[in-house]
């Protein structure tokens, strides 16, 4: 089986998995070392901007079960108090799509980090640990699995990624409510390959610089 094709009978071939994991380790380790001074600077800016921890841990469900997905904190410390920041209508819309445009809970430095996707950098640690991959479906919290119905096990069969097909082919314009997000994520799961991963890798930079699909 050609590793570039990635899958055989719907399942990733062994060579593809080995090559992908090798690149995950090499690139995440190199990224953490090269960006270390920059990561420290971001941490200082977050602390100066608002009280609270620098790193936010979000419990997600992945191929290996529950894990703590790491992100730079981009919201105020009491962001879980939805009623404090949202109207009843906004609360309902947030619970449907897990995101909301112009979210008032986002801090000043948090808006910059989100627009540039730099809040995702700590996830390189998740990749190095084998909990995530550089490329894959967007991490999901357990409550989000209901949107996938019978395909929930399928989405969990692949390691979640820092970036992926959804982020580079619609992102915030493709919601759970419309069903487009599920289609994008499952498309990647069913068509994994090194060629697709390489395409997504480069499209990610284009999406970040053009701010496509960001809030």
Across the chain, mean pLDDT equals: 88
- The tens digit of pLDDT for each residue in 67-117 reads 999 999 999 988 888 878 888 888 887 777 667 777 889 999 999 999 888
pLDDT of 4 reads 66
Give the SS3 label for residue 76.
Answer: coil
Confidence check: pLDDT of 38 > 80: yes
Confidence check: pLDDT of 213 > 70: no
How far apart CA 200 and CA 162 sit, in angstroms, is: 11
pLDDT of 214 reads 44
164, 138 in Cβ contact below 8 A? yes
Give the alpha-carbon dihedral of 114, 120, 122, 123, to 10 degrees: 160
Closest by Cα among 135, 181, 183, 182 to 160? 135
The structural domains of the chain, with segments of one domain joined by +, span 7-210
Name every residue whose Cβ is closer than 8 Å to that of residue 111 and which is 6 or more positions away in sequence: 74
Axis-axis angle for helices 194-210, 14-49 (nearest 10): 20
- What is the pTM for the complete model shown? 0.85
Q: Within its chain, how far is the Cα of 125 from the centroid?
A: 13
Residue 210: how many other CB atoms lie within 10 Å: 9
How far apart CA 60 and CA 47 sit, in angstroms, is: 25
Q: How confident is the model at residue 172 (pLDDT cuts 50, 70, 90)?
A: low
72, 121 in Cβ contact below 8 A? yes
Q: How confident is the model at residue 212 (pLDDT cuts 50, 70, 90)?
A: low
């Amino acid at each position: 089986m050609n590793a570039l094709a990635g899958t055989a009978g719907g399942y990733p071939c062994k060579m593809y998995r080995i090559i992908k994991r090798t690149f995950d380790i090499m690139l995440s380790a190199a990224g953490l070392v090269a960006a270390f001074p920059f990561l420290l600077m971001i941490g200082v800016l977050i602390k100066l901007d608002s009280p609270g921890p620098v790193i936010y841990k979000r419990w997600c469900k992945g191929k290996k079960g529950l894990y703590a997905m790491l992100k730079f904190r981009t919201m105020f410390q009491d962001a879980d108090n939805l009623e404090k920041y949202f109207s009843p209508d906004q609360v309902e819309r947030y619970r449907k799509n897990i995101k909301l445009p112009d979210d008032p809970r986002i801090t000043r430095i948090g808006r910059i980090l989100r627009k540039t996707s730099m809040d995702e950098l700590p996830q390189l640690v998740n990749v190095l640990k084998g909990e995530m991959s550089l490329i894959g479906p967007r991490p999901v919290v357990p409550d989000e699995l209901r949107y996938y119905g019978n395909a929930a096990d399928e989405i969990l069969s692949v390691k979640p990624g820092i970036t992926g097909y959804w982020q580079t082919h619609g992102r915030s314009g493709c919601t759970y409510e419309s069903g487009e997000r599920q289609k994008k994520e499952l498309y990647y799961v069913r068509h994994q390959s090194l060629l697709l991963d390489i395409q997504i890798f480069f499209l990610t930079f284009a999406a970040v610089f053009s701010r496509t699909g960001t809030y």
